[in-house]
Structure 1
Amino acid sequence: MKFNHIGIPTTGSFEGEIDLPHLKMTVSDHENNPFGIQWQRYWEEAPYPDLVKSVPHVAFEVDDLEKALRDQKIIIEPNSPSEGLTVAFIEVNGAPIELMRYQRDP
């Protein structure tokens, strides 16, 4: 696994807001800082578990998402928020963890 970002939920505004209507949330660019900090504001109708909308999560890139999900408590099933990326959320010790797999060209 490789660290990608930390997502921090907030209800307030933040600098560099990026609206993602198809995900029903607003985020900041986690690549604009060397530590991968990403602010996230979930829209009222966002269909995510309260745990994800209220507790910060750490995101890791994995080579094999299916393998990484084995024997885990999945709270958001694998889905593709953008082209070439598949993500899923699991719960570990009461905290949300995002697992990400980028489709790499051969």
Structure 2
Amino acid sequence: TVSDHLNNPFGIQWQRYWPDAPYPELVKSVPHVAFVVDDLATAIAGQKVLIAPNSPSEGLTVAFIEVNGAPVELMQYDNGAQPTIPPDLAHKTTQGW
């Protein structure tokens, strides 16, 4: 199950997985952070990849890597697609969060 990041003032999306969900145990059991990157292939090069690059929605490619024992989601927006920013945070850039 997933919460909508647009329904809270901090833009947080909570994910909870069923026990038999087809994801690595680390991803299912440890909260993760997500970062937007310009070049996903470069960002995951040499990293321990938990979930290979895939496209969960049009214009977005994601992958999960392991960093210091925790999952990290890396997201690349393609073809000019942009992340959806909660209205309360629209005045800030990602560098300001």
Which band: TM-score by shorter chain? Answer: 0.7 to 0.9
CA RMSD of aligned residues (A): 1.6
1:37 is the counterpart of 2:49? no
TM-score, normalised via structure 1 length: 0.70
1:88 is the counterpart of 2:88? no
Structure 1 unaligned blocks of 5 or more: 1-25
Greater displacement, 33-42 / 66-75: 33-42
1:68 is the counterpart of 2:31? no
Q: Per residue, is there more strand in 1 or in 2?
A: 1
SS, match of residue 27 in structure 1:
coil
- Post-superposition, which runs of at least 4 consecutive aligned residues in structure 1 deviate over 6 A? none
SS, match of residue 39 in structure 1:
coil
Offset, 1:50: 0.6
Q: Identity, % of aligned pairs?
A: 77
The count of residues paired between Structure 1 and Structure 2 equals 81
Q: Give the distance between the partners of 2:66 and 2:4, measured in 1 at CA.
A: 24
